[in-house]
Chain A
Amino acid sequence: MRKVWDLIGGVHPPENKHQSVQESIGTLPLPEKLVIPLNQHIGAPPKLLVSAGDIVLKGQPLAEPKGMVSVGVHAPTSGQISEISDYPIPHPSGMSARCVTLIPDGKDEWIEHKGTDNFRDKTPEELLDIIRSSGISGLGGAGFASAVKLSTRQPISTLIINATECEPYITADDMLMQERPEAIVEGIKILSYILGEPDEILIGIEDNKPQAYEILESYLEGTNIELVEFSTRYPSGGEKQLIQILTGKEVPNGGLPADIGIVCQNVGTTHAIQRAIVHGEPLFSRVTTVTGKACSTNRNYQTLIGTPISHLLEYNGFDQSQCSRLVMGGPMMGLTLENPEIPVIKTTNCILAPTEDELPTPPPAQPCIRCGMCAEACPASLLPQQLFWYAQSQNYERLEAHNLFDCIECGACSYVCPSNIPLVQYYRASKGEIRKLAAEKVNADRARQRFEFQKARKEKEEAAKAAKREARKKAAEQARAKAANTRTSTEVSPAATGATAKSSAADDIIKAAMARAEAKKASPEEQRAKLERGVVRAESHLETVEQRLQDLDSEATDKQREQAQAAIEDARLRLEDAQSKLKAAPEPKPDKAKEVMAKVQASPKEALEKKIATLKDRINVTEEKIAEAEDDALKAALQKGLEKQQEKLRDAEQQLTEAPAESTTAISETEDAAATAIAKAQAKAAAQASMSDEEKLRANVTSLQTRLKKAQERLIVAEEEGSNHIDALRTGVEKLQAKLNSAETELSELS
């Protein structure tokens, strides 16, 4: 007898298995329709192969696996696909998922299929392919793809067949073992062959199935398969728990049984694998227990996948009024079904229709009293109470630190809780939240990565652009520096840079352009000076080029000579150009400043005269404009302007007439005109005061005479110079003449 370890924790709920083992596995008439969900397993959804309206045969694949962890589905019977649509599936969410609806035609016509007489003729890989294409996933509970589980890379020392079926009410595996032990044993042999003949093969079975034990044992004689019986306690059927019971080894946290050289397969899965390999029959039906007091018959049925649960219940005298709730699976881990139209899937081992007495509605939860019974019951050696507190406060960090993910959700803690706290639901919710947060974190990290990458890329682009700009700037600077260099060197020693006439010509063009540009900026004198320099330079250049030609004459090739000739021509042209430019350039104009100085220095009389002259000019222009103007308003405006101008002219003339008296003297003595004028005026005033009228007049006449003489002199000078003040001077002379005349007549009258 093999040593068996004890299950840690665990509970012992009422088994209630006897009801459904009274009759053999039955078959039900074909239902009106089969609804086959595409995704009945953990992993990626398979790829649909049929479309609505297709006629399919029994065993025909409806969907093939897509990706590694994926499982296909097959038609359980022949018929027509009526629709492919979303349909409620057995899931705690009660949500709908993609399903193929098949209307059976009743013929149950098989697609061509072939089994393998001797599986040892095939390689394990070929067998795995068959398992994969037969749509086999774990029939025990989670529904993990069997082919994936079997194609492990680690060396396997132990194969464990899980025949525990620890959950109350369920007897599907029990009946299977009682009725088809041969097939199961063959299936175990196939698994052993695929796994490379492990050292030990164990079948774990609870002691509440004595019949199955006896029957199976008789078929195991002469094999290396060991049937191990142990005391019944929930949840010994959990994979990790069973491994612990049978081998004493513990699956590491976060690891798989394969990590410690163990593969565990459900007995139902083993049977399905045998069917697939030996008979070529894909997984399209399974044994399902229909039980509970709300059903008059409790029995196991070979049920087609996709059979609506209502169909099963109908044939078992289901009484809706008696039933507290419909459960798929067992009372501990099963899920409540809201809708009896939900189909049977690959993992549906039991349909439980209990009365309120059997499975009462859980009473409201009460506060935790810290009794610690949950910790004693926990088969995973966790601290359910602590997890409960952390789940309530949503402290996910602590939950993970307390190994929440080692919880197998067996429900033992909730079962023993005296306060009826739905502990498992807290753990499930927390697990979901943690997974969601982890997924969000992954997304956030990717977003961050992408954002940072984009930022880096933009910076790089910017840097590249800046570098390009810099390079261009540098190139331009270099070109400028080179140009400047060549110019200075041509000035210093034209021969040095003129070695190749071509390049010097190019440089010359640049130079000429720059000279032009500078010439534009420069003032006329500078321009002129520059042009003169240019002429000189061009001349010297011509000379040097000619000199070079002469030097070349002795030993140069024709080509060189030609180039030199061209260079001379070029230089000559440029010299001519420079000379013409020099001629064209305007004579340096007198400085504006000087003009202003002259104006300032000019006598006020001259300024006035000038003003009068300009005013007259303006009047003329205005008059012309008036003559030209047609518009009355404009004419009026112009007239007004003219009047104003005339007024100004009059003012100016008056000023001018008043001015001559003092200004004539002022003209000759520019330096201290004011001082002399004051002295003269004082002298005059003194003289006049002492003089009689006659004397006064006489003095006046003499002064007038001198003034007239001076004015006449000035007029002569002005006439000689062709100055534009002649008119003004002439009028001044005439006025003086008139004044003199009047003064003389006055004097003659007096005397």
Chain B
Amino acid sequence: MFELIAQHPIPAALVALGGLAIIFGAVLGFAAIKFKVEGDPIVEQIDSLLPQTQCGQCGYPGCRPYAEAIANGDTINKCPPGGQTTINAIADLLDVEAPTLDEEHGEESDTRTVAYIREDECIGCTKCIQACPVDAILGAAKQMHTVIVSECTGCDLCLEPCPVDCIDMLPVEKGLADWKWNLPPSAEEQIKALRPGDIIASDQDSGDQAA
């Protein structure tokens, strides 16, 4: 056996390499079927970073379509509700430079708003119900409608179809439950805030003149 191989090194090598190729091909082929990934994982990842307001300000009918568009090469700065935070997160995920928000699609707003229907004026046309992407409006034909505040994403899509303009976007009231500590001011800000006579405490022998 060894002699045969030694006598015919080139055919032996070819046979060995061919055999390896077949084995690995089979393994890879099996793995491709066995561990097949359904769907596009990058779309899922982008979608999970988007704010899910489903507002359509990006020009796509919802967050998932926009995620798909991004996966297909669209720009990532079309989401005003997500703002710079979302852009940064997606840029981080896709490993690209984070652009600033495209103002064409709207401006970023710090205050979250929810739709509020002035119920006296509502005529019960159900147009807003049909427009709501997350089924957050409750009501029936010729009955007063109301917004389920906890489900409202503040997408504004119900404003336009309302024939009597009885929907307002109201800022969400911030209560104790929403309160959180702020980060302390940065060193630069603290130095800026110092008055001319102030000296940094540790530069003094006694701490009584600390700012």
Contacts and interface: CB of A to CB of B under 8 A. Distances in A.
Interface of A: 39, 91-93, 95, 97, 356, 360-361, 363-367, 391-392, 420, 422, 425-426, 428-433, 435-436, 440, 443-448, 450-455
Nearest to B112: A440
Interface of B: 47, 50-54, 62-64, 133-136, 151, 153, 175-176, 178-184, 186-187, 190-191, 194, 200-202, 207-208, 210-211
Given A426-B183, A428-B180, A428-B181, 6 more contacts: A435-B180, A444-B50, A447-B151, A450-B151, A451-B54, A453-B135
Contacts of A450: 134-136, 151
A431 B194 CA distance: 29
B206 to A, nearest CB: 11
A445 B181 contact: no
B184 A95 contact: no
Contacts of B153: 443, 447
Most buried by A among B184, B190, B194, B202: B184
Nearest to A448: B52
B133 A366 contact: no
A256 to B, nearest CB: 22
Contact of B190 (A364, A435, A440): A364
A281 to B, nearest CB: 29
A366 B200 contact: yes
A447 B50 CA distance: 11
Label chain B's interface by main secondary structure: loop
B184 A425 contact: yes
A95 B53 contact: no
Most buried by B among A433, A444, A455: A444
A443 B52 CA distance: 9
9 contacts: A91-B179, A356-B208, A425-B183, A428-B180, A429-B184, A430-B183, A436-B178, A451-B54, A455-B62
Contact of A426 (B54, B151, B184, B211): B184
Contacts of B191: 364
Contacts of A360: 207, 210
Nearest to A94: B179
Nearest to A363: B201
Contacts of A425: 181, 183-184
A46 to B, nearest CB: 15
Given A360-B207, A366-B187, A454-B133, A448 B180 contact: no
A93 B176 contact: yes
Contact of A91 (B54, B136, B176, B184): B176
Contacts of A435: 180
Label chain A's interface by main secondary structure: helix
A430 B190 CA distance: 19
Contacts of B178: 436
Contact of B200 (A92, A364, A391): A364
A422 B178 CA distance: 22
B180 A97 contact: no
Contacts of A92: 179, 181
A365 B184 contact: yes
The 5 closest A-B pairs by CB, nearest first: A432-B180, A363-B201, A444-B52, A428-B181, A450-B134
A39 B176 CA distance: 10
A347 to B, nearest CB: 15
Contacts of B175: 95
A636 B90 CA distance: 85
A95 B176 contact: yes
Contacts of B151: 446-447, 450
A447 B134 contact: yes
Contacts of B190: 364-365
A451 B200 contact: no
Nearest to A361: B210
Nearest to B194: A364
B183 A429 contact: yes
A585 B194 CA distance: 111
A105 B53 CA distance: 54
Contacts of B194: 364
A329 to B, nearest CB: 16
Nearest to B50: A444
Contacts of A426: 183-184
A435 B177 CA distance: 11
Nearest to B134: A450
A136 B173 CA distance: 30
A367 B64 CA distance: 44
Nearest to A435: B180
A683 to B, nearest CB: 91
Nearest to A454: B135
A455 B210 CA distance: 62
Contact of B201 (A364, A445, A448, A451): A364
A425 B190 CA distance: 15
A265 B128 CA distance: 53
A711 to B, nearest CB: 85
A363 B52 contact: no
Given A365-B187, A448-B63, A436 B210 contact: no
B52 A447 contact: yes
Nearest to A434: B180
B1 to A, nearest CB: 56
Given A426-B183, A429-B182, A429-B183, A364 B211 contact: yes
Contacts of A366: 187, 200, 202
A444 B184 contact: no
Contacts of A420: 201-202
Contacts of B208: 356
A455 B186 CA distance: 46
B133 A451 contact: yes
